[in-house]
């Protein structure tokens, strides 16, 4: 609601079918939020994020052709501890000689 009030285009529970041999197949993938048709947001409320959560957002980014995603865990004392940013294709566009400012574990091709 707040994002829409600022003028952003926001979709929720976005179906993400896959295509197999020219046939669109609904396999149950649903993006929690898609902002501006480019930023994927997955919301969780778990004790701790697991590798399956990372795999989920990376899969959604790849299948949807999106580059930027946020995995948010709302079950934290301080929200900044629950925000995880993922950028697909980041290394293809940066100067590899310098510090990128992106933590090593969050860089993906």
DSSP the chain: -HHHHTT--EEEEEE--EEETTEEE--S-EEEEEETTTEEEEEE--SS--HHHHHHHHHHHHHHT--EEEEEE-SSSSGGGGEEEEEETGGGSS-TTS--SS-GGGEE-
What predicted TM-score, i.e. pTM, was given to this entire model?
0.77
The pLDDT tens digits of the residues spanning 65-75 come to 999 999 999 99
Residue with tokens 């566009």: 93
Band (91; pLDDT cuts 50, 70, 90):
low
């Amino acid at each position: 609601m707040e994002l829409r009030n600022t003028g952003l285009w926001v979709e929720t529970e976005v179906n993400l079918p896959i295509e197999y041999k020219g046939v669109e197949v609904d396999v149950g993938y649903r993006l929690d939020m898609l902002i501006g048709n480019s930023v994927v947001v997955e919301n969780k409320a778990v004790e701790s994020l697991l590798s399956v959560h990372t795999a989920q957002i990376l899969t959604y980014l790849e299948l949807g052709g999106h580059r930027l995603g946020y995995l948010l865990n709302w079950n934290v004392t301080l929200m900044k501890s629950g925000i995880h940013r993922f950028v697909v294709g980041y290394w293809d566009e940066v100067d590899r000689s310098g510090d990128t400012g992106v933590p090593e574990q969050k860089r993906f091709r």
